[in-house]
């Protein structure tokens, strides 16, 4: 008999996504994980975010980074609407741009319980501005998946960054 998993697993086919969402509930209320790294910025509201065995109380400007191997979920304890920015990045998309001295994926691999970053207001505003530009670029560009597959085909798996 197959044992049922206590969490959900999702596969993202796009190499990168960027979305702003406002709602009373998280997009996925169950513990889950996926094949992409995630950047989660709380823009407005207050929620709790669980990553592995840690719980974070989040307020506007709170940023959480987690890898594709960390189980997580958000909970809105107030039932008031909250706005968040969620960026998913497939590590295979970033890896070709890493070098031995600049591993762009390091920020997703931290000590357990060390996921939360509190951004100063200026950094919070800058991230929102950059994410809006990224969101527009993704919508305007030809399917990013095609370019991702092209880069991946030319990239050797022998890199270990």
d(CA 128, CA 77): 24
Domain at 71, CATH number: 2.60.120.280
Helices H / strands E in the chain, number of each: 3, 10
Domain membership flag for residue 160:
no
pLDDT at residue 143, as a whole number:
65
Q: How many separate domains does the chain show? A: 1
Task: Tell me the torsion sign for CA atoms 118, 123, 63, 58.
Answer: positive
Domain membership flag for residue 75:
yes
d(CA 151, CA 158): 15
Host domain of residue 35: 10-152
Domain membership flag for residue 161:
no
Domain membership flag for residue 2:
no
- The answer to whether 93 and 146 are in contact (CB under 8 A) is no
Strand partners, 17: 88
pLDDT at residue 161, as a whole number:
44
pLDDT at residue 158, as a whole number:
44
Strand partners, 73: 50
Domain membership flag for residue 30:
yes
Domain membership flag for residue 3:
no
d(CA 25, CA 43): 14
Domain membership flag for residue 58:
yes
Domain membership flag for residue 157:
no
Q: CA 155 → CA 20, 93, 95, 98, distances in Å?
A: 31, 10, 9, 12
Task: Count Cα atoms within 13 angstroms, Cβ side, for 160.
Answer: 0
pLDDT one digit per residue (tens) for the chain, 161 residues: 555 667 777 777 888 899 999 999 887 778 888 889 999 999 999 999 999 889 999 999 999 998 988 899 999 988 899 999 999 999 998 999 999 899 999 988 887 788 899 989 999 999 999 999 999 988 887 665 555 555 455 444 444 44
């Amino acid at each position: 008999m197959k044992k049922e998993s206590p969490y959900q697993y999702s596969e993202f086919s796009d190499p990168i996504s960027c979305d702003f969402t406002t709602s009373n509930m998280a997009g996925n209320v169950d513990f889950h994980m996926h094949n992409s790294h995630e950047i989660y910025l709380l823009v407005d509201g207050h929620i709790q975010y669980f990553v592995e065995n840690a719980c974070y109380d989040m307020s506007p400007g709170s940023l959480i980074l987690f890898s594709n191997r960390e189980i997580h979920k958000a909970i809105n304890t107030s039932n008031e609407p909250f706005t968040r920015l969620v960026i998913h990045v497939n590590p295979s998309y970033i890896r070709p741009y890493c070098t031995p001295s600049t591993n762009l994926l390091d920020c997703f691999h931290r000590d357990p319980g060390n996921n939360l970053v509190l951004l100063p207001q200026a950094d919070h505003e800058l991230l929102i501005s950059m994410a809006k530009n990224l969101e527009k670029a993704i919508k305007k560009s030809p399917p990013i998946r095609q370019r991702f597959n092209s880069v991946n085909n030319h990239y050797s798996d022998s890199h270990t960054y």
